[in-house]
Chains A and B, each alone.
Chain A
Amino acid sequence: MIWLIGIGGIAGTVLRFGLGKAVSARLGTAYPWGTWLINISGSLLLGALYQLYLAGSLSPALWGMLGVGFCGAYTTFSTFGYETLQLIDSGRSGRAALYVLSSALLGIAGAALGMAIASWFIA
C-alpha cells in the first residue's frame, strides 16, 4: 500500500511541476494561474475518486495510489499560501484576495462537481 501511495505521490508532484511551468510560460507569472488550475482540477478529480471509493467502485489500494498519493501531491497548499503572500507583498492585495477566495470556492465546487459526475457514472 505504501508503495502505491508513493508512486502516486511521485506522479502527482512531477505533473504539478511540469504543468506549473507550462502554464506560467504561457500565461505569465503576474497571477498564479498554474497552482490555481492545479488545485481546482485536483479537487474535482479527488471528489470523483472519493465518490467512487465510497460506492465501493474503487479499491482501497487504488484510492491510496490515486487519492492519497496522486491528488494529494498534485495539489498543494504551501505554494498557494506562498504565492498569496507574494501578491500581498508586491502591493496586489485585491488580486491576492481574489486568488484565495476563487481557489477555495471553485475548489470546493469542483469537488462537489466531481462527486456528482462520479455518482452519475455509477448509477
Chain B
Amino acid sequence: MKDLIYVGAGGLLGTLCRYGVQKWVPTAAGGFPLAVLLINLSGCLFLGWFFTVTPGAWRIPPRLRLAIGTGFTGGFTTFSTFTVDALRLWSEGKAAVSLLYILASLLGGLLMSLAGIRLGQYMASRSGGGTAV
C-alpha cells in the first residue's frame, strides 16, 4: 500500500510536468509533436541514468527510487500520445511528418536510453561503489 502512495505521488508530478511542457512548447511546423518528443527523449535519458546509478552507486530508499523512476518518469513520458499523434498525422495526409516523428521517437529514445545508461555506468565506476547494471 505504501508503495502505491509513493508511485502515485511521483505519477502525479510527472503527469503535471508533462502537461506543463505540452502547454509551453509550441507545436512545430507541419504539426510535428515537438513537446511530446522532447518529453520522451529527456525521460529516456533520465531513466537510463537514474536506474543505473541507483541503487548501486547511490543508495537511496527503494520507495524513493520507485517514486522517481516508475512514478515520476513513467508518468512524465507517454507511449499512447506518441502512437495517437503518429496516427493522427498519417490520417491528416502528413505521412512524411508521421514517419519522421516515429523514427525520431524510436531511434532517439533508444539512443537517449543508451546514453543515460552509459553515463550512469561511468559515474558508478568512478564512484567505486556498487555494481553497474
Chain A interface (Cβ < 8 Å from any Cβ of B): 2, 5-6, 8-10, 12-14, 16-18, 38-39, 42-43, 45-47, 50, 68-69, 71-82, 84-86, 89, 100, 103-104, 107-108, 110-112, 115
The reply to whether A81 and B15 form a contact with Cβ atoms under 8 Å apart is no
Q: How far is the CA of A50 from the CA of B22 in the complex (A)?
A: 17
Nearest CB in chain A: distance from B62 CB, A: 13
Our pick among A8, A79, A111 for the contact of B84 (Cβ within 8 Å) is A111
If over half of A's interface residues share one DSSP class (helix, strand or loop), that class is named, otherwise mixed; here it is: helix
Inside 8 A of B56's CB, which chain A residues have their CB?
A: none
Inside 8 A of A79's CB, which chain B residues have their CB?
A: 47, 70, 73-74, 77
Q: How far is the CA of A74 from the CA of B83 in the complex (A)?
A: 14
How many chain B residues touch A (CB < 8 A): the figure is 50
Q: A42-B80, A84-B113, A85-B114 are in contact. Are A78 and B74 (CB under 8 A)?
A: yes
| Number of CB contacts from chain A to chain B under 8 A | 172
CB of B112 within 8 Å of the partner chain: yes
Query: What are 7 A-B contacts with C-beta separation under 8 Å?
Result: A5-B16, A9-B11, A9-B16, A12-B75, A14-B11, A68-B18, A73-B18
The reply to whether B4 and A17 form a contact with Cβ atoms under 8 Å apart is yes
Chain B interface (Cβ < 8 Å from any Cβ of A): 3-4, 7-12, 14-16, 18-19, 22, 39-40, 43-44, 46-48, 51, 66, 70-71, 73-84, 86-88, 102, 105-106, 109-110, 112-114, 117, 133
Nearest CB in chain B: distance from A75 CB, A: 4
Given contacts A18-B4, A47-B87, 20 further A-B contacts (CB under 8 A): A2-B16, A6-B15, A8-B15, A13-B8, A13-B11, A13-B74, A13-B75, A14-B8, A17-B3, A17-B71, A50-B84, A69-B15, A72-B75, A72-B81, A76-B77, A77-B44, A78-B77, A79-B77, A81-B112, A107-B83
The reply to whether A46 and B105 form a contact with Cβ atoms under 8 Å apart is no
Q: How far is the CA of A90 from the CA of B46 in the complex (A)?
A: 21
Q: How far is the CA of A13 from the CA of B84 in the complex (A)?
A: 19
Sorted from nearest, which 7 A-B pairs have the closest CB atoms? A13-B11, A9-B15, A81-B113, A75-B79, A77-B77, A78-B43, A107-B83
The reply to whether A76 and B81 form a contact with Cβ atoms under 8 Å apart is no
